[in-house]
A = this chain, B = another copy of it.
Amino acid sequence: MIEKNVYLDNAAATRMDERVLEAMTPYFFETYPVATSDFGYSLGIEAREALEYARDEIAHYIGASGEEFIFTSGSTESSNLAVKGVALALGEKKGRHIIVSAIDDFPVIHSAGSRALEKQGFSVTYLDVDHEGLVNLDRLRDSITDKTILVSIQHANQEIGTIQDIETIGRICSKKGVLFHTDATHTFTRVPLDFKKVKVDLITVSPHTIHGPKGIGGLFIRKETPITKWMDGGFQEFNLRAGLENIPGASGFAKAVELVTPEENERIKVMRDHLIDRVSAEVPDTTLNGHRSKRTPQNANITFHFVEGESITLHLDIRGFSVSTGSACFSRSLEASHVILGVGGDHERAHGSIRFSFGRYNTMEEVDRVVDTIAEVVGELRKISPLAHNKEAQK
C-alpha cells in the first residue's frame, strides 16, 4: 500500500496551493459579475478592480506596468497569440520570416510550423541547440534577415530545464530591430527576469507550474509592440484578447505569484542538486540532460541508459512516485522527445529519460526515497534488459 503519492512532475501541473483557492473563492460567490466600466453597476466595478489588481500584481513582479500584461487561457494561447499576432501585424508590412529554437515547446513550434504559419507562406528557421540545450548566438545573429519579424526562444526548456541567455538574445534582436518573444512558462517567478533590463517584447507565462490554477495564463506585451488580436470577439484585455474575463483565475494567478519566494526557490534547488548528485554517484550509466548550472531550480532530467523510461515510470508509480518521460504536451504520446533528440540524443536516450520536477510540497526525505527506489528499480530492469546485456557483451 502506498500511503502518499510523491509527485515529482510539477513542470506539467502542480498541486494548487490552498491559499490560491482562498484568493479565488470570493470571485466565485460574491464578486462574480463581468468586469464593467465605471458606467456599470457596483458589483461589476468591484470585479474590474479585482482584475486590475491581479494584473498589476503580476506585471509589477518583473517590473512591467499593468498595461503591459494581458490574461489568456494559458501558456499555449499566449504563445499562439505572440507568434501569430506578430505575424498578422507584420507579415505584410515587413516580412514573413520567423526564427525559433528547435527545442521550444509545441505551442511555439507548431504556431510557426508547417500546419500553421509555414502553410501560409511564412518561412521558419529552426535554430539547433548544442548538447546542453543552448542556442548558438552567432547562428542566431546570422539567421536574422531584413524579412525577419520575430525571434521566439524560450527562457527555459520544458523537459531539460536549460536556461537560455535571453539578455543577450534580447540585445541581438533589439539591435537588429526584430521582436523577441520568450516562453517563460517554466521560469516565471522561479528564475529572476527584469522586464526593464531584458530587451524582450513578449513573454508567455502561466501559474500552473507554481501551484496556481489551470485555465489561466498571461502574455507580457511591451508598450508599442506591433501585435494583432488573434482571439476575436469582445473588447477585453485592452482589445487584445476577447473572452469573458476569468477573474477567479486571474486572482488565483496573482496569489500564486505572490507565494513564490527566493527562499523556496533555493530550497527547491537544493533538493534538485541532491537528487542529481546522488544519482550520479550511485547509479551507473546515467546522463544528466541539459546544462548543469544554467538550469531551472525545479528540474532534473536524467537518462538511465539501457532501460526504457516507460518501465521506470511504471515501476516508480507502483512504489508511489509520479515522474514522467516527456513534456506535458507529450504525455499522451510515446513518440521520442524532440528535445532529447535536439540535444543530440538518439531514440534510445530519448526513451530512457526521466524528468523529475520539484515544487513546494516536496521534501528532502522524498528525494532520498526516490533515489533509493530508482537505484533499485534501474538495477532490476537492467538485469532483464537486452540493451544492457549487449553493452556487457561489447566490453
Question: Interface of A with B (CB < 8 Å)?
Answer: 5, 7, 9, 12-16, 18, 21, 25, 28-29, 32-37, 39-44, 73-77, 79-80, 105-107, 110-111, 113, 115-116, 206, 208, 213-216, 228-229, 231-236, 242-249, 310, 313-314, 316-317, 321-324, 327-334
Contact = CB atoms under 8 A, between A and B. Distances in A.
Contacts of A39: 310, 313-314, 334
A28 B16 contact: yes
Contact of A76 (B5, B35, B244, B322): B244
Contacts of A33: 7, 9, 12-13, 322
Tallying the copies of this chain within the complex gives 2
Contact of A42 (B40, B317, B331): B317
A232 B107 contact: yes
Q: Most chain-B Cβ atoms within 10 A of its Cβ — which of A34, A215, A216, A245? A: A215
Nearest to A105: B233
Contacts of A323: 41
Contacts of A15: 28-29, 32
A243 to B, nearest CB: 4
Given A41-B322, A322-B44, A76 B231 contact: yes
A32 B212 CA distance: 11
B331 A214 contact: no
A105 B232 CA distance: 11
Q: Most chain-B Cβ atoms within 10 A of its Cβ — which of A76, A233, A245, A247? A: A233
A77 to B, nearest CB: 6
B14 A244 contact: no
A74 B73 CA distance: 9
A37 B242 contact: no
Q: Most chain-B Cβ atoms within 10 A of its Cβ — which of A12, A25, A40, A77? A: A40
Contact of A313 (B13, B21, B41): B41
Contacts of A18: 29
Nearest to A37: B332
A309 to B, nearest CB: 10
Contacts of A245: 214
A34 B16 contact: no
Nearest 8 Cβ contacts at the A-B interface: A234-B329, A73-B73, A107-B233, A215-B246, A76-B243, A215-B215, A110-B232, A41-B317
Contacts of A40: 313, 324, 331-332
B249 A79 contact: no
A214 B249 contact: yes
A37 B324 contact: no
A370 B79 CA distance: 46
A387 to B, nearest CB: 19
Q: Most chain-B Cβ atoms within 10 A of its Cβ — which of A76, A80, A236, A249? A: A76
Contacts of A115: 228-229, 232
B41 A231 contact: no
A273 B241 CA distance: 36
Given A249-B215, A322-B41, A36 B106 contact: no
A214 B253 CA distance: 14
A316 B41 contact: yes
